[in-house]
Amino acid sequence: MAILGLTLRSLLSRRYTALLTLFAIALSTALLLGVERLRVEARASFAHTISGTDLLVGARSGQVQLLLYSVFRIGNPTNTLRWDSYRDIARHPAVAWSVPLVLGDAHRGYRVLGTTTDYFRHYRYGRGRVLEFAAGRPFDDLFDAVLGADVARQLGYALDQSIVISHGAGSVSFVQHDTLPFRVVGILRKTGTPVDRAVHVSLAGIEAIHVGWEGGAAPRQAPTADAVRAMDLTPQTLSAVLLGLESRLAVFRLQREINDYAREPLSAVIPGVALQELWDLMGVAERALLAISACVVGVGLLGMLSAILSGLNERRREMAILRAVGARPLQVFILLVSEALLLAGAGVVLGVLLLYAALWLGRPLIEAQWGLYLAIGPLALREWALLAIIVGAGALVGAIPAYRAYRYSLADGLTVRV
């Protein structure tokens, strides 16, 4: 207790230097925990790009490729699955719901997704969050369109505006389906997923704009809207299907049945497994964030070391006086280590408070702008371990000047230097 009291009085006598050191450690701690939480939440957000879907089904391909084009709208399927195969799978007793997907066209660089209104009811992201509308409603007419948040913001669209879909998936297209424009009837809230960058229309709408394109080229005489409304617009093929099951216990059994489907070669993948494989391929980003975290805390600890070392020469006489009144070298060593430990501990506490304040103030903006949900909850076990490492490293950093003071002699401290 005597050492603690002496430590506090010593820090109070150098309050300004101590406060600067304290804030440096607090900021580095807050940044470290912030980067760590951002890394964890980014990984969780990526892993929950799609949630609540038990299986992704598409033509036979690798599971990452199927995930990329069906969920992330990157690339195109190498093949398609037939509509009658989809209906057969959707009627399976283990299937609770199914959402068919068709990809192929684009609008000003954004992918167009043909689906059904079940997409808005069953698609989940994050930790089971549902799709919400910032404005408008789901499509119910043949030429209705629902925009993702990024599409509406970047292109400046509002409800009831007309949009024209381009043929093909490229950002630049010389062929437009301009005779059959769509009307914006809904704009989704920001999700931080590929949903934000998609234009959603009905399956029948996709079929309607491709009437006459059976040979792969634009028809000489484009059909009118009234003409296509009278046609049978049931799709013949699909890009992929999202499946939700009655029981997750049936996932592996149904996956095996679909992979062994006799009518055509199909692949069924578990989204979580495919997402983990894709994240492992992009692990360099996570390692970069970990390196940034280590650099941040290293800078804070070096700042503390610099502050203590720079003040050590000024305190040589103080150390000598302590020795003169009976303090042993070990006690001087413990005093300086205690100062570093106290600064590191107080800096960690202040850093945690700064982190929670920043989360409370910045979470709405981060979620609105980037769709990244940052949970405000108790510190995780890994975060507690990081804090313990910071405090331990602070004590080790304090041991460097403490060892130097330990070796100072009484004569050296009382000698007048010219």
**Percent of the chain at pLDDT exceeding 70:** 77
Angle at Cα 38 formed by Cα 35 and Cα 44, nearest 5°?
Answer: 145
Q: Which residue has the tokens 């009118």?
A: 224
- Beta-bridged to residue 187, according to DSSP, are 135, 147
On the question of pLDDT at 1 being above 50, the answer is no
Q: State mean pLDDT over 4-8.
A: 56
pLDDT category of residue 146 using cuts at 50, 70 and 90: very high
Residue 314 has pLDDT above 70, yes or no: no
Are 159 and 136 spatial neighbours (Cβ–Cβ below 8 Å)?
Answer: yes
Q: Would the pLDDT of 151 be above 80?
A: yes
144-164 per-residue burial string, b: 16 or more CB within 10 A, e: under 16: bbbbbbbbbeeeebeeeeebe
Give percent of the chain with pLDDT exceeding 90.
34
* Mean of the per-residue pLDDT values of the chain: 81
| Mean pLDDT within 239-245 | 95
Q: How far apart are CA 192 and CA 7, in angstroms?
A: 49
Domain definitions of the chain by residue range: 2-46+283-414, 55-269
For 338, counting Cβ atoms within 10 Å of its Cβ (0-12 exposed, 13-18 middle, 19+ buried), the class is: buried
Token readout for 287 is 């390692």
pLDDT of residue 129: 87
What mean pLDDT do residues 129-141 have? 94
Q: What is the pLDDT of residue 415?
A: 52
More confident site: 204 or 225 = 204
Amino acid 416: pLDDT? 46
DSSP character string of 196-226? GGEEEEEHHHHHHHTTT-TTSS--SSPPPHH
pLDDT at 394 > cutoff 70: yes
DSSP letter at 51 equals B
Arithmetic mean of pLDDT, 16-41: 80
Global confidence as pTM? 0.71
CA 360, CA 38: separation in Å to the nearest integer?
14
CA distances from 131 to 16, 239, 365 (A): 52, 21, 19
- For residue 279, the surrounding DSSP H or E stretch is helix 271-281
At residue 369 the predicted structure's pLDDT band, cuts being 50, 70 and 90, is low
Q: Give the lowest-confidence range in 172-181, 197-206, 247-256.
A: 172-181
182 neighbors 144 (Cβ within 8 angstroms):
yes
- The predicted pLDDT at position 259 comes to 95
